[in-house]
Structure 1
Amino acid sequence: MASEAIRPRGRPAHTPGTTVLAYTPNGRRVITAGSNSAIRIYTVGQDGEPKTVDEGVDGHMGIGATNESFIMGAEDGTVWQYEIESGRMENLLVRCALPVRDIAVSKDSKWAAVASDELTVKIVNIEDMTKVKYLREQAKGTKHVTFDPSGRYITVSCTDGIMYVYSLLADEPELVQKLDGVIRKLEPEDEATSRVVWHPDGTAFAAAEATKDIAIFSTSAWKKEKAFAGGHSGDVTAISWSPNGALLATAGADGQVLLWETKTQKILQRYGFPNVINLAWHPTDNSLSFTTSDGELFIYDGIVPSEHQLLLQKPLQAAPISLGSLADVSDNVRRPLTNRPKELFERRAGTPDSLDDILGSDQGMEDFVDDDDGAGYAEGINAFGKRTNQYMDEIDGHAEKRLLTSYAKPKTHPPLQPGSTPWRGNRRYLCLNLTGCVWTVDQETHNTVTVEFYDRELHRDFHFTDPYLYDRACLNEHGTLFSNNPTDGSPATIFYRPHETWTTRADWRTKLPRGEFIRALALSDSYIVAVTTKDYVRVYTLFGTPFKMYRQKSPAVTCAAWRNYVMTIGNGPVGSDGRALTLRYSIENVKRDEICQNEDVVALPEGAQLQSVFFSDTGDPCIYDSEGVLLILQHWRNPGQARWIPLLDTKQLERLASGLKEETYWPVAVAQDKFHCIILKGGDRYPYFPRPLLSEFDFRIPISDVPGKGSGEEEDEPTPNDDAKFEEAFVRGNIMLSLFQDLLGSTNATPTQRAELARRELELDKILLQMLAVECREGEERGMKALELVHLMKDRNGKMVEAAVKVAERYGRGVLEDKIRELAERRYMGEGDDDELA
């Protein structure tokens, strides 16, 4: 074994007693505090004297740090924030009636959780101390509190030996688990720890047991998975994961500091340091800092021996849990585990159903993973290795490659999965829409997938370990759809899981023929659609019955679905320059076997690319292009009549008018007559984590550069810009009315819908009336256009024409008033108003 690094000397920092420490996230400083009033700020890499802060508060029990400030909780119940450069006491974040025992800062440095002898844990916003969340379910005082790395959960360790897990996804924390037997019952002053220490990948946590072992619990099953056993002969006083999760450091009352290998749970090194009560790894370096009850600080540079340093240099490692034991956290019924043969749990491949023995199952990864929730995620597992992501094109396409011949490879539009983002680091969104989002984390040997919903009263979030490496997903109110494209020669698979079921199993999986891979997926209330590399369009029912299959006329790019309608998009013919001239789309009612539009052209300007395609909430196809324009398809149910209408040009938004803002928009949906999107600041092209908030914009037809108003706004007196604003509102209203009429024409209209149609026509007439007022105000020379506006009115009951007469009368336009009265008489007599204007 290689020799140890130079053993560090203890640095006297505080008087004997409780001593706490924390690194800043950037690793530049380590801050310590103790039972006296002094606070020490050490600069990493320097052996000089630390900066000392003495503000007169004694008994520091909790500490947390950001890069700009650090937070101290004291025995007198105060929690102060200090500026890290100067050491100046800045803010009293919160005050407790009883001693503070622990402080935890969220990974995004926005929230500080305060544990005290009170029954309530407070979570305070560091930037705005008026924003406070409360954890109220505890029956005893709290000894420790910790955030999970992803910000999903916060754990509370109480002195009665009960651990509480709260979800932080909603505005108010929600208790999701109350666990007894995970941690020990300890007094607040005990040096032994009951802290829950999260693994950096967020899928597991470590906690010290009364047996002096370190137990590992999975976050989805909430049960013990593995244990670091046989290390300490005294109480465990501190636990800390290395930044990449490959190593675990523990300290005990036996005077030992141990280094464990996470994967094997074996001890790599023992160090003798008595009275250690807190540990902290440096965020990036091979260094471990710890404090003792003697008031000393040790900074052990090079603590991991040279023969094991490769472990510390690896990327984020998976937590040491049995990946198949992840339990169901969705609404589906959990399968009972009784009356099953033991061998099915020890070595099983495929589903947990007993039919595996009859029907057979894939082999090769029996010990790797079980179903996390019995939903079939782990059945038929393929051989796997480190992700290469080389088979399918990226969202924005690979750079054009030259063939080793005399001609260039044709440049076509790359495959597009709407709502999906490319990898950024080890994370990406597989789907992001108004229902929620599906995102995945690359763990090298597998992925972890999380499905989150906006409406958590309707559905609960769930996550699972993904050995298939799913690369596409769709989400709606009824279910979640996944697919993968393996790079090891295994067939591509499609997996669908409904959110609710009244049977034991309703999810299903199907495999495509070998050599055929999936370019895009779509999910509606009725069907599942996949377009593939063989240009096949495969349509399935929601319960896995193959319903239709045909070959697209143009090479597949993407697809979308709504109820019984399927829209497919492919590359058009290639021009002489080697580029696809157009994108072609087709729309079909698969239930009726009717083609609405066949190989029509997608309206994209030269040089622009398709960024997303989706159906609106009322079922009209929409596209969003790289120029920032949202378009909707009008008259698409009538063959040969469809045309693309621009609803919004985001480059004309007022927020960009000053030229000072640099932002673009990630399309999400069209719903409630609004464009829902994510605002991307600066040069960002895709949304990233944490999940950004959705924004919405009103439609605005790009008629002119004058901002328009909604069709329902009225004013007593027109203003100079109202002419252009009303014109935009009129064109927009006509388009929305036309889309609504098309919808009613294809369905059995209800009385409510017919009333809505009349209301929309009336709103259009009101806009025309406002435009008439503008023309009358401008003078008699505008009378021809004013009369034309009256001709455009729907005016079902004649009231709007009467109002037009009053407008002309108000502005003293006598000739126009007479013309409008003549028009009203002709309409009354049934002669119409299509004759030439006088």
Structure 2
Amino acid sequence: MSSDAIRPRGRPAHPPGPTVLAYTPDGRRVITGGSNQAIRIYTVGEDGEPKTVDGAIDGHCAIGATNKCFLMGAEDGTVWQYDAVTGQQGLLLLRCALPIRDIAVSRDGEWAAVASDELTVKIVKIEDMTQTKYLREQEKGTKHVTFDPTGRYVAVSDINGKLYIYSLTEEEPELVRKLDGVIRALEPEKEATSKAVWHPDGTAFAVAEATRDISIYSISEWKKEKTFAGGHTSDITALSWSPNGTLLASAGADGQIVLWETKTQKILQRFDFANVINLAWHPNKNSLSFTNSDGELFIYDNFVPKDQEGHLAKSLQAAPIFPGPLTEISNNARQTLADRSRDAVKRAARAGTPDSLDDILGEDEEMADFVEDDDGAGYAEGLNAFGKRPNGHLDAIDGPESKRAFSGSVQPMAHPPLQPGSTPWAGNRRYLCLNLTGAVWTVDQETHHTVTVEFYDREAHRDFHFTDPYQYDKACLNDNGTLFSNNPEDGPATIFYRPHETWTTRADWRTALPEGETVRALALSESYIVAITSKDYVRVYTLFGTPFRVYRQKSQAVTCSAWRDYIMTIGNGPVSADGRQTTLQYTVENVKRDEICQNEDVVALPSGAQLQSVFFSDMGDPCIYDTTGVLLVLQHWRMAGQARWVPLLDTSQLARLAGGRKEETYWPVAVAQDKFHCIILKGGDKNPYFPRPLLSEFDFQVPISSKPVNDLSDEDAAAGNENARFEETFVRGSVMLSLFRDLLASTNATSSQRTELARRELDIDKTLLQMLAIECREGEDRGMKALELVNLMTDRNGKMIEAAAKVAQRYGRGVLEDKIRDLAERRVMGMGDDDELA
């Protein structure tokens, strides 16, 4: 036992019998269930009594948890949902005819897989129980079910000793592997485990074998790679990886918990605990929780010995499935965990097809494709005949390029073409378009493609699917129609438009571009179709195929977007100040009126950043999202020479990322209803994958200031937080008000829009009033700023300024009250702010 840790005492949680446990993903709570009706909720770090919930049924034998709720499966075949904080019982999520044996919750907390004595495993959406998927290939009842960390695979262990691996990348789950002889045949009531426990990097899983050893299987070849041997002398009852994959804990019927180092498969420590049947690592602390068949819960803090604790401080490590150092790959190249996981998924998907692409390419070509240059850094290029990298990747004699002065011999980096809403190939499929209307994706079938178009609002539009011999590589989708284009090697590029509804027999159309000209980006609005090409032409068509305008862009075309009668084109401009890349320039014009609003102005990107997406908001304002995670909107873009890029949200500053609690990025989709709509990417993913992920939304939050420093008192810190919140609300409200005013000034405003304008102005004045109250509360010496806040009010009828005077009166700020009333009189008399300052 660890010398620096105190052996934990068992906490009586339930009567003797099987006892299950789960951490909430944030690590704040441990939840247990047992043979009685009671459910216990333990708060991590507190030694007090747990919260006890009286469940509806006896015999809890399966559990799964999210931060919001937890699920309990019972012997009567029911799965109930409970609130994770209050313990209040919620809805019945699922009912089976036979006892529940296991519950697994996907990493994103959206889906729950339920294993039971029935032949079919059900995967249910937690927030919508009507959405259910079925795994039907099992020959016997199932004992365990687990999701891989990426959510692309689910592993099912049946009582007959067979392990089933399903792919969840399609709408309907598909069996990709049935592994026999990997796990033991075990009856459901047996305490020994046959669960496939996924490594945190998603490229391998561990299972307990009949030999009482632990084996690691890779998903690239579905074969045994490494073995943890000699740890137990009796049946293994539980396995659990540490959150970063550096350690493995196993429990056995021999009364031992064994701590393993995964890199070397060596035993670091043994602990004597009898009858342990479940193990769970804390998500971010050196702590292991476990339950036994006596109904007890143990929370073992400082579980890893102090001299080995450095293993837990490491970042996510690779699964030990290759010989040699963990991160070394053949051909002297290196892969990140995300790249390695993606490659393994590709080979696993190929291996599951009747005419495997690996069989067609052969081993040599597979290895040549093993390292991908996803980020364009060039590390996978130029392997010589011996499979080695030449020295072209090394710095020049006079030092790295970043330290040398720019000269004409260095080629600046141009921004590559960008199709908003599309993704690169992942295996044999990719998204051509993803937005708030729906999704368009294509599947490479070797000789042709198949295209699927799905809508979120299926009452308005019907999904459709077609065989694509043209192999379209770009698409746009809106409520009017779907637009496609292709760039074949043996013919002219074509554009194809298919409207959703027509009153004639046939309204879709196709047009070919001149020979040698290819499409770089497409855009579709309610009025026009736009294509920018390799010859830097901007081609504008009406919705039914009439060429409306053709002109050459002044800069090399990169991307475009469209909204109603407006189009926005972006191209590579002059070289930036550091000489390493070109700046991007944009043009916004009204096609119908043939008016240019902004002409070849600069896109505001920081040095080294690239454009990730460009789109118009639902109110018609141009927006961009860059690789630094910042969303910007173009303010005053209808007035020539007045446009500027204003940040609406910096996703790197989101509260959910504070303290490094989450490692995630955001894939932009749209700006609508004053929110940023995106897809949350986890595990190092750079693009959305299949099945189609759910959309998330974030409120705008203009980056204004950081939180107060730690040396402030609690009271001062609270006041600082409150003031910072109001300041951000004021700046954000002012930006959104200016955008709305510009819209109304350029259109025939309706009465409802004018009412909305007045409401927005009032909201800003209310925010200023709240900021004024804070200044008055702080003291008389803050009077100058307090009066300044009143000056900023857009008050039209004097009510808000009168309210400001009452606030000053309430806090006994007589001088400030007099000045506010003087200001009110001057406004009534029509004197401006300049007169007041004078």
TM, length-normalised to structure 1: 0.55
Q: Is the 8 A contact 1:498 1:506 kept in 2?
A: yes
Give the aligned partner of residue 464 of structure 1.
466
| Contact 1:200-1:316 within 8 A present in 2 as well | no
Measured after TM superposition, the shift of residue 98 of structure 1 is 11
TM-score normalised by structure 2 residue count: 0.55
1:627 is displaced (CA, Å) by 0.7
Alpha-carbon shift at residue 661 of structure 1 (Å):
1.3
Within 5 A, what are the aligned runs for 1:49-68?
A: none
* Cα distance in 1 between the residues matched to 2:653 and 2:791: 31
Instruction: Say if 2:617 is the partner of 1:649.
Output: no
State the AA in 2 paired with 1:783: G
The Cα of 1:146 is off from its aligned counterpart by 7.3
Question: How far apart are 1:204 and its partner, in Å?
Answer: 12
Shift of 1:698: 0.8
- Following superposition, the deviation at residue 812 of structure 1 comes to 0.2
Report the residue type matching 1:780 in the other structure: E
Return the letter of the residue paired with 2:620. Answer: G
For 2:833, the equivalent position in structure 1 comes to 833
Structure 1 distance, partners of 2:668, 2:767, is: 29
Q: CA deviation at 1:646?
A: 0.4
Residue 579 (structure 1) shift: 3.8
Q: 1:487-506, aligned counterparts within 5 Å?
A: 488-506=489-507
Task: Report the 3-state secondary structure (helix = DSSP H, G, I; strand = E; otherwise coil) of the residue aligned with 2:807.
Answer: helix
Provide the residue aligned with 1:428 in structure 2.
430
1:687–1:148 Cα change, 3 Å: farther
Give the letter aligned to residue 515 of structure 1: G
Structure (1 or 2) with the greater helix fraction = 2
Shift of residue 833 of structure 1?
3.2
Q: 1:451 aligns with which of 435, 450, 453?
A: 453
Q: Aligned partners of 1:622 and 1:551: how far apart in 2?
A: 23
* CA-CA distance at 1:317 after TM superposition: 5.9
CA shift for structure 1 position 96: 6.8
- What is the DSSP-based 3-state SS (H/G/I as helix, E as strand, rest coil) of the residue aligned with 2:599? strand
Q: Distance in 2 between matches of 1:674 and 1:283?
A: 40
The correspondence of residues 310-329 of structure 1 with structure 2, limited to 5 A, is none
CA offset digits 1:134-166 (Å, max 9, x no partner): 99xxxxxxxxx97699xxxxxxxxxxxxxxxxx
* Residue matched to 2:749: 749
1:550-599 Cα shifts (integer Å, max 9, x gaps): 00000000000000000000001236976443100000100000000000
Which residue is 1:629 aligned to? Answer: 630
Give the secondary structure class of the aligned counterpart of 1:669.
Answer: strand
Q: In structure 2, the residue corresponding to 1:464 is in which secondary structure?
A: strand
1:631–1:283: structure 2 CA closer, same or farther, 3 Å change rule? Answer: closer
| CA distance in structure 1 between the aligned counterparts of 2:78 and 2:785, rounded to whole angstroms | 71
**Counterpart selection for 2:485 from 483, 490, 503:** 483
Equivalent in the alignment of 2:736: 736
What is the deviation of 1:797?
A: 0.7
Give the partner amino acid of 2:503: W
What CA deviation, in whole Å up to 9, does each residue of 1:695-718 have, x standing for no partner?
Answer: 1111111110149xxxxxxxxx99
The one-letter amino acid paired with 1:419 is G
Distance 1:793 1:106 in 2: 50
Alignment of 1:277-426 (within 5 A): 399=378, 407-426=409-428
Partner-residue secondary structure (3-state), 1:651:
helix
CA distance in 2, matches of 1:115, 1:586: 63
* Closer, same or farther: CA 738–317 of 1 in aligned 2, 3 Å: same
Q: How far off its partner does 1:763 sit?
A: 0.7
Q: In the aligned structure 2, how far is the partner of 1:701 from the partner of 1:205? A: 42
Q: CA deviation at 1:721?
A: 2.2
Q: Find the counterpart in structure 1 of residue 771 from structure 2.
A: 771
Q: CA deviation at 1:511?
A: 0.8
The 1:122–1:756 alpha-carbon spacing in structure 2 relative to 1, beyond 3 Å, is: farther
Matching of residue 682 in structure 1 with residue 677 in structure 2: no
Letter in 2 for 1:430: L
Residue 666 of structure 1: how far off its partner (Å) = 0.6
Alignment partners' CA distance in 1, 2:811 and 2:554:
61
Cα displacement (A) at 1:447: 1.4
- Contact 1:396–1:414 (Cα < 8 Å) also in 2: no
Measured after TM superposition, the shift of residue 745 of structure 1 is 0.4
On the 8 A contact 1:652/1:705 being kept in 2, the answer is no
User: Equivalent residue of 2:660, what SS?
Assistant: coil
**C-alpha displacement at 1:456, in angstroms?**
1.0
Which of 435, 439, 442 pairs up with 2:441?
Answer: 439
Unaligned runs of 5+ in 2: 1-74, 80-91, 138-165, 179-218, 224-347, 356-364, 382-391, 394-407, 709-716
The residue type paired with residue 678 of structure 2 is C
Letter of the 1:444 partner, please give it: E
Q: Does 1:702 align with 2:699?
A: no
Give me the whole-angstrom Cα distance separating, in 2, the residues matched to 1:122 and 1:132. 17
Residue number in structure 1 paired with 2:671: 670
Verify the 8 A CA contact 2:730 2:768 in the aligned structure 1: yes
Deviations 1:741-799 (A, max 9, x none): 00000000011111111111111111111111111111111111111111111111110
What one-letter code is carried by the residue in structure 1 that aligns with 2:750? Answer: T
Q: For the residues of structure 1 that align with 2:374 and 2:441, how far apart are their CA atoms?
A: 15
Q: Which amino acid aligns with 1:658?
A: G
SS at match of 1:439: strand
Distance 1:813 1:452, change over 3 A: same
* Closer/same/farther in 2, CA of residues 439 and 684 from structure 1, 3 Å limit: same
Matches within 5 A, 1:77-226: 124-125=122-123, 133=130
C-alpha separation in 2, matches of 1:205 and 1:822: 72
Amino acid at match of 2:652: K
Shift of 1:507: 0.8
- 1:424 to partner: Cα distance: 1.3
What is the CA-CA distance between 1:440 and the residue it aligns to?
A: 1.3
Distance 1:515 1:113, change over 3 A: farther
Q: Does 1:535 align with 2:536?
A: yes
Corresponding position of 1:802: 802
Contact 2:555 2:585 in 1 (8 A): yes
Change over 3 Å in CA distance of 1:451–1:398 after alignment to 2: farther
Q: What code does the residue aligned with 2:499 have?
A: P
Match of 1:375 in 2: none
Which whole-Å CA distance do the structure 2 matches of 1:451 and 1:465 have between them?
12
SS in 2 for 1:657: helix
C-alpha distance in 1 between matches for 2:817 and 2:173: 80
Residues 125 and 132, structure 1, Cα contact 8 Å, conserved in 2: no
Bigger drift between 723-732 and 591-600 goes to 723-732
Amino acid at match of 1:557: V
- The letter of the residue matching 1:445 is T
For 2:833, what is the secondary structure of its paired residue? Answer: coil
* SS of alignment partner, residue 573 of structure 1: strand
Counterpart residue number, 2:555: 554
Three-state SS of the structure 2 residue aligned to 1:656 is: helix
Contact in 1 for aligned 2:415/2:582 (Cα 8 Å): no
CA distance in 1, matches of 2:553, 2:686: 30
Deviation at 1:199, TM superposition (A): 13
Aligned partners of 2:623 and 2:633 also within 8 Å: yes
Amino acid at match of 1:618: M
1:570 touches 1:583 (CA, 8 Å); kept in 2?
Answer: yes
Asked if 2 retains the 8 angstrom alpha-carbon contact of 1:718 and 1:774, the reply is no
RMSD between aligned residues = 4.7
Q: Distance in 2 between matches of 1:830 and 1:313?
A: 73
Contact 1:790/1:820 (CA < 8 Å) preserved in 2? yes
Q: Does the aligned pair in 2 maintain the 1:808–1:816 contact within 8 Å?
A: yes
Contact 2:493–2:513 (CA<8 Å) still a contact in 1? yes
Deviation digits for residues 228-286 of structure 1 (CA, Å, limit 9, x no counterpart): xxxxxxxxxxxx9999xxxxxxxxxxxxxxxxxxxxxxxxxxxxxxxxxxxxxx99789
Matches of 2:611 and 2:573, distance apart in 1: 13
* 1:123–1:133 CA contact under 8 A, matched in 2: no
Of all paired residues, the percent bearing the same amino acid is 69
Q: Which runs of 5+ in 1 are unaligned?
A: 1-75, 81-91, 100-104, 136-144, 150-197, 207-239, 244-281, 287-311, 320-385, 708-716
Q: 1-side partners of 2:427 and 2:446: how far apart? A: 12
Deviation at 1:461, TM superposition (A): 1.3
Pick closer, same or farther for the CA change 1:795–1:126 going to 2, 3 Å.
closer
Q: Is the 8 A contact 1:718 1:773 kept in 2?
A: no
